[in-house]
Amino acid sequence: MGNQIKKVGILTGGGDCPGLNSVLYGIMLKAYDVGIECIGILKGWKGFLENQTIPLDIAEHDDLHTVGGTILYTSRTNPFKGVESKEKRAKELAEKFKELGIDALIAIGGDDTLGVADLMCNYADAKVVGVPKTIDNDLQGTHYTFGFWSSTQLASNAMDNLTTTACSHQRVFIVEIMGRDAGFLTMYSGISAGADIILIPETPFDFEKDIVEILKKRANAGYKYHIIAISEGAYPSLKSLERDFKTISKETIDKLPKDTYGNPLLVKLNMSQIIVDELNLRDDLKQEFQKNGVEFECRSVVLGHTMRAGAPNSFDRILGLRFGLAAMKLVLESKFGNMVSLQGNKIETIPLSEGVKKKYLTPENDKMELRDLLVKIRYLSKQK
């Protein structure tokens, strides 16, 4: 072995995600083949700081790539939180390699976890490579993160299934979907399930125009039940907030706890329930429904952690395995400070600093147009 790597540590950080174990298995397959030992570091950076490790013997983990969650456990511990000197901290962390008995580290995680890996490489030349992970798919460096499609499928299935109860009771269902401040999960699952209204954080919504009016138009076109897909981080435009909302105000949003970048944590709002409350105050909407023979009833469903639950789908198993294999190869080739990524259908290498930047849905994305057509054409085409 050219670079004298004998033991590799692996950690998983941030929210768990279908496909984490698939990455692990991909790493372990290649490592075994070239005679490198793998050590699991438990609970992400927490276990790294506290020397919590387990041996990873591939003989004991047949078909690990098919199993959901992460056998290494996870946490959101950030070793740089609150430190004064990043350089000093990075050097301390790089020193931990000796204590842990590892020659290199593969960090699997989202922007937070990989951000730590990046700082360690930048300031301390640490031998770390990264694998991008998040169900939210909001990392710039890769076309898709593993876990995204499993999660999209779960949300899409949930909305498919909700239509039977929505139909039976002639109700409006507001389905709140994970993804923080990025709308990929809501947009893809909403389109996939044929949701009637799709609201994402990237395009603040107008309560009157994007919800009330559409529901009225759909009711008049003969629709008796409706599914609204809304991102947990979606919010109304300021104009709409001030004009249309009775149960929350700008102050409600201003008072929200902030994330580390100072942005309000919109996920704390429970926007699906707020919309239920606001719609329930609209007598004009109720009258429009009644005119069409329907008593207005509205419910909110927060999909929450069911969206990360269970086994990865085939796409995420394969992508996870490919990422794991590629990450191990980066270690073998001493390409530290980099992460693996999916570009089209190819696995590529990019610097960690590039990969950890955030990605959002942009106006030119064809999914935006699809969403708008999907919502509009159904009621328009039924108007006589």
Contacts with ligand F6P, residue ranges (CB under 6 A):
15, 134-136, 178-180, 232, 267, 308
Q: Minimum Å distance from CB 267 to ligand F6P?
A: 5
Q: Minimum Å distance from CB 147 to ligand F6P?
A: 9
Q: Is 126 exposed, middle or buried (0-12, 13-18, 19+ CB in 10 A)?
A: buried
73/296 with CB nearer ligand F6P: 73
**Residue 200 near residue 166 (C-beta atoms within 8 A):** no
Structure tokens at 217: 């138009």
Q: Minimum Å distance from CB 20 to ligand F6P?
A: 12
Task: Name residue 315's amino acid.
Answer: F
Q: In what order do the strands lie in the sheet with 338-343?
A: 53-56, 37-41, 7-12, 104-109, 128-132, 338-343, 346-351
Q: Which helix (H) or strand (E) holds 143?
A: none
Q: Minimum Å distance from CB 261 to ligand F6P?
A: 14
Q: Minimum Å distance from CB 308 to ligand F6P?
A: 6
Q: Which of 118, 136, 138, 181 is catalytic?
A: 136
136 a catalytic residue:
yes
Structure tokens at 176: 């709140």
330/339 with CB nearer ligand F6P: 339
106/302 with CB nearer ligand F6P: 302
Give the integer Cα–Cα distance in Å for 352 and 354.
5
103/112 with CB nearer ligand F6P: 112
CA distances from 3 to 107, 122, 199, 333, 347 (A): 19, 20, 50, 8, 23
102/230 with CB nearer ligand F6P: 230
Q: Minimum Å distance from CB 164 to ligand F6P?
A: 26
134/189 with CB nearer ligand F6P: 134
Structure tokens at 77: 């511990």
Q: Minimum Å distance from CB 272 to ligand F6P?
A: 14
Q: Smallest Cα–Cα separation from 235: which of 215, 259, 207?
A: 207
Give the integer Cα–Cα distance in Å for 72 and 223.
48
72/331 with CB nearer ligand F6P: 72
Alpha helices in the chain (DSSP H): 20-34, 44-49, 86-100, 111-124, 148-169, 184-193, 213-220, 238-244, 250-254, 271-280, 283-291, 314-332, 352-355, 366-382
Q: Minimum Å distance from CB 233 to ligand F6P?
A: 8
Give the integer Cα–Cα distance in Å for 225 and 166.
6
Residue whose C-beta lies closest to ligand F6P: 178
What is the chain's alpha carbon radius of gyration, rounded to the nearest angstrom?
23
142/349 with CB nearer ligand F6P: 142
Give the integer Cα–Cα distance in Å for 185 and 168.
27
Within 10 Å of residue 180's Cβ, how many Cβ atoms? Answer: 22
Task: Name residue 278's amino acid.
Answer: E
Active site residues: 136
